[in-house]
Chain A
Amino acid sequence: MTTPLENISRRDFMKYCAATAAVLGLSEFELATKVSEALVATRAKTPVLWLEGQDCAGCTISFAGALNPPIASLILDTLSVRYHETIMAASGYEAESAYHKIVKAGGYVLCVEGSIPTADDRFCMIGRRPFREMVEEAGARADAIIAVGACAAYGGIPAAGPTGAVGINRIIKHKPIINLSTCPVHCDHLVGIILYLLTTGTAPPVDEIGRPKMYFRELIHDNCRRRSYFDNEMFLTDWNDPTQKNWCLYMKGCKGPETYADCPVRRWNDGLNFCIDCGAGCMGCAEPDFYAGMTPLYTAESGRSRNNRSRKHASSVFPLKKQDMKGGGQK
């Protein structure tokens, strides 16, 4: 990649520093140091290739909700978003050409949003090409691969439908994939992982189904502020009743006892609120069998919990084994 320093001769650079330093009242040396730091920072912009398959763009919108650091700084200062159908200014053939350029160059962070149909490629075609092919092609030349959201991680809601939707781990094999599996992706998870990759140059430790341990280690139930009501079997039955407002949502279908994610601690949207706090309960969106295994959502007996009788002692339930991660495909 061409760096700004390569474009400016050293003589010009020092001249520029001298002139600017005089204006700012700094010594030339101080300013030169500061400016080089800034230039080095711009050199480090990481190329990102973001593909959208069978998606709803909700993960993009979630990412666009970043406030700390702000999204403007992420997409203009930190990252070099070479291809992203929603964010990029390009469209049509120009967009396709941008895609081919970055794939050819390689060495990018690949973010995939949305699932991939396996029943028939024609369920998801981009520019008359099967989306599946693009994922394979882009995956092969990526430095790091992030499955952004439940659909890309394990198939998500589309996996319960007729298109044979799967996560990218069924398409890109033999390469590690970081699964950020909530629906939509938690903005902090995505921004955090990107910053982790940039800072350390390595992938974060993940659990056995590819989710970063730093975000998915603990059961929602174990960190839930309504937990004492669960233990005392005080369950909310009427959303209008102020005395029940903070009671356990188990009878309203909360899947917190079988879902691993840090939502109760981190909360959502800059700590503003989250599913359990707003009285609706957790719908298990971080788990590989979401949504097919979680329906019916609003009763205590989901498909998953019927198979897992020990739900009441759910804090002793371990993460699913690999064979359970097919994700959906109900009926």
Chain B
Amino acid sequence: MARGFEALLLGKDPRDAPFVTSRICGVCYSVHQIASARALDEAFGAEVPWGGTLLRNLAMAAQFIYDHILHFYHLSVLDYIDIMAVAAYRGKDKALNAVKDKIAGMLRAKDTFPLTPRYKPDEISVTDPDTVISAVKHYIDALTMQAKARNMGAIFGGRQPHYQSIVVGGFTQLPDVNQVAKFRTMLDEQAKFVNEVYIPDVLAFGTGPLFPLAKKGLGGGHHNYLAYGALELDRTGKELVFPPGVIMGLNLKNIKINRFNPDKITEPVKYGWYRESISQHPYDGEQVFDLDKKDAYSFIKAPRYLGKPMEVGPLARMLVARNPDVLGLLAKGVKPGAIARHAARAIETKLVLDACYKWLDDLLSEMAKPGFKIHDTIHWEPPDTGMGTGFYEAPRGVLGHWVKIRNRKIEKYQVIAPSTWNLSPRCEKKARGPIEESLLGAPVPDPDNPINVVRIIRSFDPCLACAIHLIDPTSNKIKKFPVE
């Protein structure tokens, strides 16, 4: 699937870009909006006041929290449990029995959509009734939690999905103390769920019934990791929740983290349905479709760092940050792979939550100062010429926006989204993309039931709506990635 966002922005007022590019993804809307605004900030020469940055961070944090909860409970858990095991629950817990009745009712009515159809459980699937029923209950609870987390973001974002208040130069809504208090109250509820339900569930699965899978490192891939870094903890921007960095060929005994250099990113299109361009640097990239191109098999370009395919996302971020909890799991024998990705995702949710409390405190003290600012009004009008990059971290990995402005209009616009990194096809050197590589050697004993393939792909949290019809199980091989 392709829509041509980069092409449709050409010639437009640059200030439109954050609003428009938000619509690249309705799941990670705020990330695109903020990355786009940051690219424009640089191109316009705008200095976002600390108040504006704090508001952007809080809006962004709500996105991280909702997205990670939703990914685990609603997009992943069903791949690891045998949901029919709820019928065998014999406990006395009222809430769990209500879940049992609900599922039993659906079964009696022969209508278990959307929980089925699905791939058949295999020998890895968790069948212990107590574990399964509590996972299903949390699936239902999490439906409400993810909606509430998004609403928390709308307090400052204006509405969700697709925030309205993020613009070049900062933010449009002067907050009041009631909004700060409301955010904090809603944050408390999220913190309780994340700390008492989400993280314990992920760890219980990963170090319990799924530990054999975790130790095998199913879905490991190239073990190259990239993080751009994001979410400022202080006004200098030096201290970040997610630091930037690069790991080439992870060696767990001696993790070497290199400095991230934006100039080393290229975006070849040899196997993409795009016209070849002379330069592969995103600033000069273009989006001219060529649907008849020989050997092409994807709308996804093939971004590379120093010519290498890179995994991006929670595991990459937590390794680059040398997060002690994630390193602790690896020390216990968990190998980087599908299960480690879920664990890293849960652990970083807590980092974001904790940062929110700090940002709320900082915001209140900023608001109390005379001349509190949220926007650089002096640099609101588009410059005659300019260029800028917006690097950011989406829940599913690094996001970059590149813009060039000429005659006060957009001359070039390029986006490299996280799923573009993870789902990338081969480049001209034939190196497979991270997900392609991670699927090599995945056990698929029954080609009609390729549940391990689904487990691996989903552990990357790709844009699933687009990535659903990927696999040709008849040959046990990934044949095509036909969509963006």
Interface residues of A (CB under 8 A from B): 1-4, 7-8, 42-43, 45, 52-62, 64-67, 70-72, 75-77, 80-82, 84-98, 115, 120, 122-128, 131, 156-158, 160-163, 165, 183-184, 237-240, 242, 245, 252, 268-270, 272-275, 277-281, 283, 291, 295-299, 331
Q: Please determine whether A273 and B161 come into contact, CB atoms closer than 8 angstroms.
A: no
Q: Please determine whether B26 and A59 come into contact, CB atoms closer than 8 angstroms.
A: yes
Chain B hits for A281, CB < 8 A? 164
Chain B hits for A7, CB < 8 A? 108, 110
Q: Please determine whether B114 and A87 come into contact, CB atoms closer than 8 angstroms.
A: yes
Interface residues of B, dominant DSSP:
loop
* A331-B373 Cα distance, complex, nearest whole Å: 39
Complex interface residues of chain B between 20 and 58 (CB less than 8 A to chain A): 20, 23-27, 29, 49
Can you name the residue of chain B whose Cβ is closest to the Cβ of A115? B3
Q: Please determine whether A65 and B469 come into contact, CB atoms closer than 8 angstroms.
A: no
* A57-B26 Cα distance, complex, nearest whole Å: 5
* Residue from B29, B119, B450, B471 in contact with A58 in the complex, judged by beta carbons closer than 8 Å: B29
Q: Please determine whether B483 and A125 come into contact, CB atoms closer than 8 angstroms.
A: yes
Q: Please determine whether B151 and A239 come into contact, CB atoms closer than 8 angstroms.
A: no
The 7 A-B residue pairs whose C-beta atoms are closest, nearest first, are: A58-B26, A278-B158, A161-B4, A296-B13, A161-B8, A268-B159, A89-B118
Q: Please determine whether A280 and B23 come into contact, CB atoms closer than 8 angstroms.
A: no
* A66-B372 Cα distance, complex, nearest whole Å: 35
Q: Please determine whether A43 and B109 come into contact, CB atoms closer than 8 angstroms.
A: yes
Decide yes or no: A87 and B74 within 8 Å by CB, A157-B8, A239-B374 being known contacts. yes
* A43-B174 Cα distance, complex, nearest whole Å: 49
Decide yes or no: A53 and B143 within 8 Å by CB, A7-B108, A60-B26 being known contacts. no
Chain A hits for B2, CB < 8 A? 54, 123-124, 163
* A93-B113 Cα distance, complex, nearest whole Å: 16
Chain A hits for B100, CB < 8 A? none
Chain B hits for A131, CB < 8 A? 1
9 additional contacts (CB under 8 A) given A45-B109, A298-B16: A4-B108, A56-B26, A61-B160, A76-B102, A95-B468, A240-B377, A278-B172, A281-B164, A298-B167
* Residue from B78, B106, B161, B450 in contact with A76 in the complex, judged by beta carbons closer than 8 Å: B106
Chain B hits for A64, CB < 8 A? 70, 143, 146-147
Q: Please determine whether B465 and A86 come into contact, CB atoms closer than 8 angstroms.
A: yes
* A64-B144 Cα distance, complex, nearest whole Å: 9
Chain B hits for A115, CB < 8 A? 3
The reply to whether the CB of B270 lies closer than 8 angstroms to some CB of chain A is no
* A3-B49 Cα distance, complex, nearest whole Å: 61
* A227-B307 Cα distance, complex, nearest whole Å: 56
* Residue from A57, A269, A270 in contact with B25 in the complex, judged by beta carbons closer than 8 Å: A57
* Residue from B162, B374, B464 in contact with A86 in the complex, judged by beta carbons closer than 8 Å: B464
The reply to whether the CB of B88 lies closer than 8 angstroms to some CB of chain A is no
20 A–B pairs (Cβ distance < 8 Å), ordered by A: A53-B1, A62-B26, A64-B146, A77-B102, A89-B114, A92-B468, A92-B471, A131-B1, A157-B5, A157-B23, A162-B7, A239-B174, A239-B374, A245-B174, A273-B159, A278-B164, A279-B173, A280-B173, A281-B164, A296-B15
Q: Please determine whether B13 and A65 come into contact, CB atoms closer than 8 angstroms.
A: no
Q: Please determine whether B16 and A89 come into contact, CB atoms closer than 8 angstroms.
A: no
The reply to whether the CB of B89 lies closer than 8 angstroms to some CB of chain A is no
Chain A hits for B3, CB < 8 A? 54, 115, 123, 157-158, 161, 163, 165
* Residue from A127, A161, A296 in contact with B5 in the complex, judged by beta carbons closer than 8 Å: A161
Interface string of B66-83 (1 = CB under 8 A from A): 000010001100110000
Can you name the residue of chain A whose Cβ is closest to the Cβ of B289? A162
Highest count of chain B CB atoms <10 Å: which of A71, A126, A183, A295: A295
Chain A hits for B108, CB < 8 A? 4, 7-8
Chain B hits for A71, CB < 8 A? 143-144, 147
Decide yes or no: A3 and B109 within 8 Å by CB, A54-B3, A275-B159 being known contacts. yes
Q: Please determine whether B473 and A58 come into contact, CB atoms closer than 8 angstroms.
A: no
Tell me the smallest distance from the CB of A185 to a CB of chain B, in Å: 10
The reply to whether the CB of B463 lies closer than 8 angstroms to some CB of chain A is yes
Can you name the residue of chain B whose Cβ is closest to the Cβ of A187? B147
Chain B hits for A95, CB < 8 A? 468-469
Tell me the smallest distance from the CB of A295 to a CB of chain B, in Å: 6
Chain B hits for A4, CB < 8 A? 105, 108-109
Chain B hits for A291, CB < 8 A? 20
Q: Please determine whether A42 and B114 come into contact, CB atoms closer than 8 angstroms.
A: no
Chain B hits for A120, CB < 8 A? 291
Q: Please determine whether B102 and A183 come into contact, CB atoms closer than 8 angstroms.
A: no
Tell me the smallest distance from the CB of A58 to a CB of chain B, in Å: 2
Q: Please determine whether B463 and A57 come into contact, CB atoms closer than 8 angstroms.
A: yes
Tell me the smallest distance from the CB of A222 to a CB of chain B, in Å: 20
Tell me the smallest distance from the CB of B389 to a CB of chain A, in Å: 21
* A146-B142 Cα distance, complex, nearest whole Å: 27
Chain B hits for A156, CB < 8 A? 23
Tell me the smallest distance from the CB of A89 to a CB of chain B, in Å: 4
Q: Please determine whether A42 and B161 come into contact, CB atoms closer than 8 angstroms.
A: no
Tell me the smallest distance from the CB of B426 to a CB of chain A, in Å: 20
The reply to whether the CB of B150 lies closer than 8 angstroms to some CB of chain A is yes
* A70-B470 Cα distance, complex, nearest whole Å: 32
Tell me the smallest distance from the CB of A105 to a CB of chain B, in Å: 12
Q: Please determine whether A239 and B115 come into contact, CB atoms closer than 8 angstroms.
A: no
* Residue from A55, A123, A280 in contact with B167 in the complex, judged by beta carbons closer than 8 Å: A280
Q: Please determine whether B158 and A280 come into contact, CB atoms closer than 8 angstroms.
A: yes
* A71-B165 Cα distance, complex, nearest whole Å: 26
Decide yes or no: A89 and B117 within 8 Å by CB, A60-B26, A125-B1 being known contacts. yes
Complex interface residues of chain B between 431 and 446 (CB less than 8 A to chain A): none
Q: Please determine whether B26 and A299 come into contact, CB atoms closer than 8 angstroms.
A: no
The reply to whether the CB of B248 lies closer than 8 angstroms to some CB of chain A is no
Chain A hits for B26, CB < 8 A? 55-62, 184
Q: Please determine whether A81 and B113 come into contact, CB atoms closer than 8 angstroms.
A: yes
Tell me the smallest distance from the CB of B17 to a CB of chain A, in Å: 10
* A9-B106 Cα distance, complex, nearest whole Å: 18
